[in-house]
Structure 1
């Protein structure tokens, strides 16, 4: 038993703590933290009600122990001589308590938080207990800004968009006049499927002067999938004033007009006249023939569509299974909207894309016909 008690398997090491955000509505703060325990190394976050610094600190360590016990598979082991404790609690408890006390003091200030330097300092603060040089509390505002931007880009490269957005929000607290921050936050929300938030960020970035090609395209794309076609058309029209020969913008504006039942072929013709290969590729990759959030007007079977388009039914079915043409599901059967499939065939024939699609599908083994990238459905 003595040897067992001396084993370090019950140790927790708290690596870092950062103040993630204030939630004024519920009067609580969120702390993010990293630690090691017998179960491994973890990153986590918890909400702390703002009461007093002692209770907040005790709550933090109590919840940390509970989480570490669960992750280490030690739940129910209290009576078996297996305990957990924070090895560096003496060195970490006071900084965390001071952090909580500063929260209470800042929330008690009369001036708006956005104008409080103490709030800005606190909202971007944190402690690294392994390496003090990495502690946010020891950095100046400029250094913190660079740190958050670099870490956010690293997280985005790793597809950790929620974590990246959190860091970008902190960078925004430090410097809310940089349009790049708003654009990057928009990209994170776009990847997470938060389209309304993404739209707000892209629109803000554009208003602040981020008139790069991708800012326009991101905003138009989000508006498109929110079925805000009028806004998407306006954004792309403005983009074409800045970039009059932009192939993708021409194709996407044509798509927006198609979705609204307006003339669109002149835009595709212009794109093809400028750069045929790029325009054809843009049509393949971005043109959506299925009407967004609109019910089908006239459903037809693949056999009927094949007859109208003068194409083999088997080819149409294979293209549908590979999501290469607009389809509709009706009572678990493959159906096509007559207007959508005719528009698809017309555009693809006009720009010499249809035969390429037919030839490509002929090379695909039939067993793979259900696999493909969803482009048009």
Structure 2
């Protein structure tokens, strides 16, 4: 009965989504759910009585999936990102979207932006109960599946991976075609708002609030009868027993997790030190995998070009960990510099060309830039 009541309440709730303008001179936009009504601010007056959610523009948010030791507190989350953040930790707001075994899904946004948006909401006469990123509105994807939301500001995509991990990509139109691995078979949706939605009532709330500011749904008294209260009390006792059992199993598992972390990082003195070492190792592995992919793509591109140029061959290749060098020999005139620059740009690298006309040699130096 309780579950039916909760489902009915969720079904009856109306949401008013409010999105800030992309620039200071722009107009804020709104969207009502369920329904199809949307437009520029202001909406009809009675819509403001709905549950209000402030939607952060995707370009203002950063999304991370980082390894994390068990028991990490919220104030320790910045330690996981200290090598990735471009500003001091106190200048950003970090929210946890999900927790999985050994990792956290974190959403990062500049604190000044959030405060500016909330101040603007007060000026507009609304008080948001929820704070979400635009990409949270899109439905969760199964492994290997991609959902795309095309808008004038750019494309928002979510790609599912193993263990329920969700990868986000915000791709401005000025960058052209989507990168490999991010091209869906068909365009899923287009327009100022998605046509398919996640379950809004289940989305993690990124709004930092005091005890005086709670969602309207929590302020309403629950109309329980005495029998229902007894059932709820019995469920609470069972949940307490189950929680005690799980807590005991958790403490038994802590030495195993610690040994697994130290097998990777070596002996550590604290959880913070382990988090920093794990973050650094992940960054190094990501950087190396990116360079390996760049090398493979460059080798394929050069091989295709050599197949078409019978007057050219390879005299040697060298790689020092960052720069991939090809020494080509041939009797035909070499291509223009633009040819090699386009080849390098396609894989996110930079190139310099050295020609030795006496020896009929052409040296290509591809500098591989690490990808985030």
- For the superposition of Structure 1 and Structure 2, which TM-score range results when normalised by the shorter chain? under 0.3
More helix by share: 1
Q: From the CA coordinates, give the structure whose radius of gyration is larger.
A: 1
More strand by share: 2
Q: Greater RCO between the two (CA within 8 Å, min separation 6)? A: 2
